[in-house]
Amino acid sequence: MDIVVNDTATEVSTDPDTTAVEVVREDLALTGTKLSCGTGVCGACTVLVDGSPTASCLLPATALEGRTVTTVEGLGGSHPAQRAFAAHDALQCGYCTPGFVVEAAAFVDRWRAEHGDVAPDRAAIADAMAGHLCRCGAYEGIYAAVAAACRGEHDTEPEHAPPRAEAMSKVTGEATYTTDVHPDGCQFGVIVRSTAAHARVRAVDGGGSPLVDLLPDDRTVRYVGQPVAAVVAPTRAKALAAAEAVTVDYETLPAVLDPESAREDGAPVVYPSKRERRSAPSSAEGATVPGSWSGNLRRSTLGSWRSATATRRLRAAAERDDPNLVTAEFSTGIQLHNAMEPHGCVARWDERGQLHLRTSTQTVGVLAREAAKRWGLSPQQVHVVAEHVGGGFGAKSGLTTETVAAVELARKTGTPVRVVLDRAEELTDTGNRPGTRTRLSLLATPSGDLAALGMDVHAEGGVSISSVAALLARLFYGTAPRRLRDIDVTTNHPPGVPFRGPGAAPMLWALEQGVDEIAHRRGEDPIELRRRWDGNPKRHALYDWAAALPVWLERPTAGSATGRFRRGVGVAAANWHYMANPGTEVEVTLDRGTVVARTGTQDIGTGARSVVTNVLAEELGLPVERVRVEVGHSATVHGPPSFGSQTTTSIGPAASDAARGLRAALRERVPETPPEGPVPPEALERAEGMRVVGKRHRDRRGYLTPFTVGDGFALGRGLSGAVHVTEVEVDTRLGRVRPTRVWAGVAAGRVYAPRLARNQCEGGVVQGVGYALYEERRADPATGTVLTDNMEDYRIPGIGDTPETVVHFHEGGWDHVRGGGVGLGEVSTIGVAASIGNAVFNATGWRPRDLPIRPDRVLKGLGS
Amino acid sequence: MTTPTTVHAATEALASHAGRARAGGTDVVALAHARRVEGPFVDLHRLTELRGISRRPDGSTLVGATTTIAEVAADATLRAHYPALVATAGALATPQIRAVATVGGNLLQRNRCSYYRNPAFSCLQSGGDTCPAREGEHQHAAVIDQGPCVAPHPSSMAVALLAHEASAHLADGGSVPVAELYDGTDPTRDHQLSPGRLVTGIELPPPVPGEAAAHHRATARSRAEWPLVEAVARLSISDGVISGAVVAVGAVARSPVRLTEVEDALVNSPVSDGPPPAALAGITGLCSPLPGNGYKVELLRATVTEVLERALRQD
């Protein structure tokens, strides 16, 4: 059939089952258009059909006949919407960006034709962009970009480079992700997954297809969706058919499918033996915390401090009905990472027996080391590339299933093999933030100091263990006695993995509402109370800032509002560890007048390229065009994984050191190079090929951990902090909570890339809104099958759910840290839900205890 | 697959191939991916004669079956005469879906129950003999119990068209009131049109002068979400008194439902007092919630209150 694609007449052959997105991405190789949800929800696949934005994943290819199609590539890179997205940093990982940009281009053109060069209001932009989802939450930038493009501010070539180094490649669709890679001769792998919640697998019959085994040593599956095997075929359709033909012989074992029955005597046990328990995966970052097992429960009291005193005080306060004692139970739902780019790997073994992995990963270095260990290679024989990564949030760390399957299949077939998860797999078995049920006891002295804290957190992480929610309460409010207990309640459900601030988000949902409740009972300002309990000067600076905000000064008295729509304001504070990766290096080489920097990290949307670019350009006095940063390759000097908020504080100082080293080396080779100030471009050209490696030197007074732990990180001195002040409007009739405005104060020291850091903090607010109000993994109670395995039923925030957000950075207090700044990715999101809970209480006098705060819960809470 | 260019050819193809009609494809393609339908398909996108909105001499309006939802949402004449229908169209799905999804397809789409959409399960809708949602996950299930299946009817347009007492024109010359397209007691399918029959258009009766109408879709998020409850109200008002009322609701039953008790109780109520609480009292009695969806009773009452208040405010 004939179609016109990006102004070129094209002929494609297609069958009735083919969708438009397949024609565009596979037949025409226009991979700027992305496939993410596959169900018409997320908009990543949006193309213009006869000028009208259309979801191409549900569009039969046959409907394109005789039509004109414009993809992101067809916009050419000079459309005002594209320039505006780059200039306003309306993106992070970039995977949803082509869809947004195509929609925005059509909207901006239409709007200007109808209204002239004036900005639409937020509601009009939200209406236009309602069919797009961005998991990074870059919606504030998108509002700004669309408005500016409508005002005609981006009609000409920009004078300045965009704040994000790779922005143009992301807004034009040029940026290549793992899902866009199809080497010649590549075959498709598909994973066969368990349909049983708990079973011993007696046999797997491939039905004639080559098959690799993905079962654990004990041949036992412990949840529906657990990988059993993988099959391969020349096309994805054939691979899916081959997977259908596989038969698995299960010896069904009794399963435990809800946390209540998991506690009962005689309940089926997920891990009956010591050996099996040792194989349980961890949902914590770093090492598994020690714990003691009893049936399906595993207890840890790590983090407790003067526990007996805390217990005695809490018990006595309960006996005397002390009004300064707050006890309450809080719960949180299971949150899914749901990065827009699914997990995927293209694996190839070369003729020398070396392994090449193109993987969507947050950890190129760790992955290379783990793959080397698993397949008996040296780390130098494993080449991991993750040029662009469409989001991770913790779920893409280390050696994950799709990579194991691709590597094994590639070895078996001798061809490259590509395994890309579909959205149902992504939302079932790539990890989650475990749900929790928390019993909180918080006691103040009559004079209003913290007397004791008790926290029992029962974590619902399926087959995973090592919840550290209660443990993290150790980081809060001084040294008052505290009894902190983490209890893993294992069930036959998919495992949790670290998720942006693991443990802290559910813990703060309880703790920060408890603190709010004490302040309320004592008739105190909740910020003043925190100021008294919290000795940290950096957070004191944030409290000063928050307390002076007009929205705070003019907040209503809790529960005083009447009428249908009730406005309230809430506050929550957060702390997070400062972690660094002390072995980090940045290598710089001079290539025809350009400084090329490399380090073994990756950019998952958090801005690693831009941090290094900014540091080098600033220290060498060069325009950013003279700096090129190459990340996402394991075959270079050591760089940090993108988790634990450690990336920027590791690569920034190493880049500084590299810049200093380069200047010193240049001064030897080209004596005209000045000791400071701009390095002349001629000097760079004369020293062609020069190579210098910068190191991330040790902090003053070193680290709390004497040696690096886990994947090579060290726990540094000091805690980053955040304070969120959130305004909500509660519709008491229809039960909807609408966050209207958020002020996000973050104390993480020096900010290396200000617009990008703000973007990440804005996205932290959006993810916190999702956690607070909408997101919830739900499973069938009878079989354990995840039902919210699509983006219609697993509900993440859209642009219309985004509050107007003001980000404030307090940059002082980190002089002991190399470079003066630490990470902010996690601290910027973990307290958001609690600030919403406190705002709902302020608005209505009803305190939500269970997440998400769904309409049914609001109606019930206000009715009772 | 065939791509007929005339209605005649389309009906022939549907009859001879036992093929499945596919218009915008936004539901059929998703169902094919979930292995709930398979081809051959009879593509309707070239039936340009079925696309468009026309006012007829008797004052009624005909909306062609392959008219897109976006076209309905943007039509000035419809907006003037059938504002609740236009509001319904503008609020459903997303702009990119509305651009291709058709009126006919919206009326005949399948339900959104997770158990039906997930190929791992068997249910009454997919040839099985039980409803796993009843004992299982049913937060979004029907709260007005009409039969063994509890998947709420998915069509928003059906709610608005039911409220407008519209009827569907069929290719064989017949005409079926929208109300009769659905039978909530039938747990095996989402509409009653027999295979091979083709909806060619929707006839909207002549507009009622001076009528006030409103639509609301209750959701958790601000946009782009299937409704928890949806309602359309049409009120005629004379001399400060409600003289006629139509209230239709969706997402609460296996079929879109007219709340006739509410309608009856509204007639002769004075406008100035707002919706009389007594008129809404009967809603509770209509509902028989499952353990996990009891909130829908109150939300239904609240959503109906919302549309009545809004319609009354326009007076």
Judged by CB atoms closer than 8 Å, whether chains meet at A63 and B100 is answered as yes
Q: Band of the pLDDT at B263, cuts 50, 70, 90?
A: very high
Q: Band of the pLDDT at B1, cuts 50, 70, 90?
A: low
User: What is the C-alpha to C-alpha distance for residues A420 and A23, in angstroms, rounded to an integer?
Assistant: 18
Residue that terminates a domain, selected from A383, A400, A429: A429
Question: Do A463 and A567 share a structural domain?
Answer: no
Question: Got the DSSP string for A348-407?
Answer: EE-TTS-EEEEE--S-HHHHHHHHHHHTT--GGGEEEE-SB----TTSS-SS-HHHHHHH
| Side chain identity at residue A172, one-letter code | T
Query: Mind listing the pLDDT tens digit for each residue in A166-199?
Result: 999 999 999 999 999 999 999 999 999 999 999 9
- Return the CATH architecture of domain B212-314: 2-Layer Sandwich (3.30)
Q: Band of the pLDDT at A131, cuts 50, 70, 90?
A: very high
| Residue A288, both tokens | 């598994």
Q: Which residues of A touch B26 (CB under 8 A)?
A: 40, 55, 58-59
Residue A816 lies in a domain: yes
A789 inside 8 A of chain B by CB = yes
Query: Mind listing the pLDDT tens digit for each residue in A246-272?
Result: 999 999 999 999 999 999 999 999 999
| Interaxial angle between packed helices A504-522 and A832-844, expressed in degrees from 0 to 180 and rounded to the nearest 10 | 30
- Measured CA to CA in angstroms, residue A823 lies from A162, A649, B124 at distances of 22, 6, 52
Q: Band of the pLDDT at A285, cuts 50, 70, 90?
A: confident
Residue that terminates a domain, selected from A380, A402, A429: A429
- Every domain of chain B and the residues it spans: 46-141+153-204, 212-314
Question: Got the DSSP string for A408-476?
Answer: HHHHHHSS-EEEE--HHHHHHHS--B-EEEEEEEEEE-TTS-EEEEEEEEEEE-TT-B---HHHHGGGS
pLDDT mean over A407-413: 98
| Residue A612, both tokens | 């290094």
Q: What percent of chain B has pLDDT over 70?
A: 99
pLDDT mean over A594-619: 98
A773 inside 8 A of chain B by CB = yes
Judged by CB atoms closer than 8 Å, whether chains meet at B120 and A783 is answered as yes
Residues 49-68 of A with CB under 8 A from B: 49, 52-55, 57-60, 62-63, 65
Q: Band of the pLDDT at A713, cuts 50, 70, 90?
A: confident
Residue A572 lies in a domain: yes
Number of domains within chain A: 5
Residues 214-243 of A with CB under 8 A from B: 224
Residues 793-822 of A with CB under 8 A from B: 793, 795, 797-798, 800-801
Residues 723-752 of A with CB under 8 A from B: 733-736, 738
Do A778 and A677 touch, CB atoms closer than 8 A?
Answer: no
Identity of the residue in B26, B220, B305 whose CB atom sits nearest the CB atom of A854: B220
User: What is the C-alpha to C-alpha distance for residues B168 and B104, in angstroms, rounded to an integer?
Assistant: 9
Question: Do A785 and A673 share a structural domain?
Answer: no
B152: Cα separation from own chain's centroid? 11
Q: Band of the pLDDT at B302, cuts 50, 70, 90?
A: very high
pLDDT at A712 over 90: no
pLDDT at B287 over 80: yes
User: What is the C-alpha to C-alpha distance for residues A163 and A619, in angstroms, rounded to an integer?
Assistant: 17
The CA-to-CA distance between both ends of chain B, in Å, stands at 51
User: What is the C-alpha to C-alpha distance for residues B106 and B104, in angstroms, rounded to an integer?
Assistant: 5
pLDDT mean over B27-40: 93
pLDDT mean over A445-449: 96
Residue that terminates a domain, selected from A405, A429, A453: A429
Residue A336 lies in a domain: no
- Measured CA to CA in angstroms, residue B224 lies from A25, A128, A793, A800, B217 at distances of 26, 11, 12, 9, 10
Phi, psi of A407 (to 5 degrees): -65, -45
Residue A508 lies in a domain: no
Question: Do A128 and A23 share a structural domain?
Answer: yes
Instruction: Give counts: helices (H), strands (E), chain A.
Output: 24, 29
Q: How many CB atoms lie within 10 A of CB A206?
A: 16
Full residue range of the structural domain in which residue A396 is found:
344-429
The CA R_g of chain B, rounded to the nearest whole Å, is 19
Judged by CB atoms closer than 8 Å, whether chains meet at B96 and A55 is answered as yes
Report the pLDDT value the prediction gives residue B15, as an integer from 0 to 100: 86
DSSP 8-state symbol, A581: -
Identity of the residue in A38, A782, A854 whose CB atom sits nearest the CB atom of B132: A782
DSSP 8-state symbol, A25: I
| Residue B193, both tokens | 């049109």
Judged by CB atoms closer than 8 Å, whether chains meet at A62 and B97 is answered as no
Q: Minimal Cα–Cα distance from A576 to chain B, Å?
A: 30
Question: Do A135 and A20 share a structural domain?
Answer: yes
User: What is the C-alpha to C-alpha distance for residues A435 and A259, in angstroms, rounded to an integer?
Assistant: 10
A184: Cα separation from own chain's centroid? 32
Do A24 and A85 touch, CB atoms closer than 8 A?
Answer: no
pLDDT mean over A354-381: 97
Q: Residue A453: which CATH number?
A: 3.30.365
pLDDT at B213 over 70: yes
Three-state SS annotation for A587-645: EEEEECCEEEEECECCCCCCCHHHHHHHHHHHHHCCCHHHEEEECCECCCCECCCCCCC
Judged by CB atoms closer than 8 Å, whether chains meet at B97 and A790 is answered as no
| Side chain identity at residue B192, one-letter code | Q
User: What is the C-alpha to C-alpha distance for residues A773 and B225, in angstroms, rounded to an integer?
Assistant: 14
A14 inside 8 A of chain B by CB = no
pLDDT at A242 over 90: yes
Residue A797's closest CA among A71, A107, A127, A137?
A: A137
Residue A728 lies in a domain: yes
Report the pLDDT value the prediction gives residue A622, as an integer from 0 to 100: 97
pLDDT mean over A467-494: 97
Do A172 and A72 touch, CB atoms closer than 8 A?
Answer: yes
Report the pLDDT value the prediction gives residue A864, as an integer from 0 to 100: 63
Residue A650 lies in a domain: yes
Residue A837's closest CA among A826, A824, A850?
A: A850
pLDDT at A710 over 70: no
Residue A530 lies in a domain: no
Identity of the residue in B100, B220, B306 whose CB atom sits nearest the CB atom of A855: B220
Question: Do A733 and A844 share a structural domain?
Answer: yes
A792 inside 8 A of chain B by CB = yes
Q: Minimal Cα–Cα distance from A832 to chain B, Å?
A: 17
pLDDT at A417 over 90: yes
User: What is the C-alpha to C-alpha distance for residues A35 and A589, in angstroms, rounded to an integer?
Assistant: 37
- Measured CA to CA in angstroms, residue B32 lies from A5, A17, A38, A39, B261 at distances of 26, 8, 12, 11, 40
Question: Do A485 and A358 share a structural domain?
Answer: no
DSSP 8-state symbol, A330: E
pLDDT mean over A193-220: 96
pLDDT at A443 over 70: yes
Phi, psi of A702 (to 5 degrees): 65, -155
Judged by CB atoms closer than 8 Å, whether chains meet at A60 and B96 is answered as no
Question: Do A145 and A67 share a structural domain?
Answer: yes
Q: How many CB atoms lie within 10 A of CB A533?
A: 18
pLDDT mean over A478-482: 96
Q: Residue A540: which CATH number?
A: 3.30.365.10
Residue A677 lies in a domain: yes
Domains B46-141+153-204 and B212-314 share a fold: no
Do A534 and A573 touch, CB atoms closer than 8 A?
Answer: yes
DSSP 8-state symbol, A854: -
User: What is the C-alpha to C-alpha distance for residues A775 and A793, in angstroms, rounded to an integer?
Assistant: 9
pLDDT at A127 over 80: yes
Q: Minimal Cα–Cα distance from B32 to chain A, Å?
A: 8
Residue B287's closest CA among B146, B174, B159, B162?
A: B146
Question: Do A127 and A63 share a structural domain?
Answer: yes
Question: Got the DSSP string for A815-838?
Answer: TTSGGGB---TTTTTTTHHHHHHH
Residue B49's closest CA among B9, B92, B90, B14?
A: B9
Task: Write down the mean pLDDT value for chain A.
Answer: 97
Do B66 and B44 touch, CB atoms closer than 8 A?
Answer: yes
pLDDT at B315 over 70: no
Report the pLDDT value the prediction gives residue B39, as an integer from 0 to 100: 86
Q: Band of the pLDDT at A96, cuts 50, 70, 90?
A: very high
Q: What CATH number should be reported for the domain whose range is B46-141+153-204?
A: 3.30.465.10
Q: Minimal Cα–Cα distance from B209 to chain A, Å?
A: 30
| Interaxial angle between packed helices A504-522 and A526-533, expressed in degrees from 0 to 180 and rounded to the nearest 10 | 110
